[in-house]
Amino acid sequence: MKITYLILGVTLIALTSFTRENFNVNYEKKMTPTEQTSDGEKLISKMDCVGCHKLDKKLIGPSYLDIAKKYPLNEKNINYLTNKIMKGGSGVWGNIPMAAHASLKKDDAKSIAKYILSLKK
């Protein structure tokens, strides 16, 4: 009986090693161009932004959708929010100040601002 199982196991291993199937299939979801993650979205997910902001709910700070509703997507507002992200501030959305992100590169802050303002529906 042991020999039967041994032969069956060796046969099974031999047969699977000769298949032409690619078992290293990447099962990641294929995104359409409109669903691709932007640079700003990637930066937000790696930073401390998620501690105070959510996409659709107010936490400590406003939701990204509320920000997008308040500021139209234009160069003036992108620059304003870029500076706000880098320098911090308070008073616009309440008394709790937003922390400064002075070590953030200006281009990265601009990508974040563009992403947030692009959320307006």
Per residue in 25-51, pLDDT tens? Answer: 443 444 445 556 789 999 999 999 989
**Domain residues of the chain, as ranges?**
38-121
The DSSP code sequence of the chain is: -HHHHHHHHHHHHHHHHT---------PPPPPTTTSPPHHHHHHHHSGGGGTB-SSSBSSS--HHHHHHHS-SSHHHHHHHHHHHHH-B-SSS-SSPBPP-TTS-HHHHHHHHHHHHTT--
**Would the pTM of this model clear 0.75, i.e. be above it?**
no
For 38-121, CATH number? 1.10.760.10
> In order along the chain (121 residues), what is the average pLDDT of each group of 10 residues?
78 65 46 66 91 92 95 96 94 90 95 94 73
Rounded CA Rg of the chain? 25
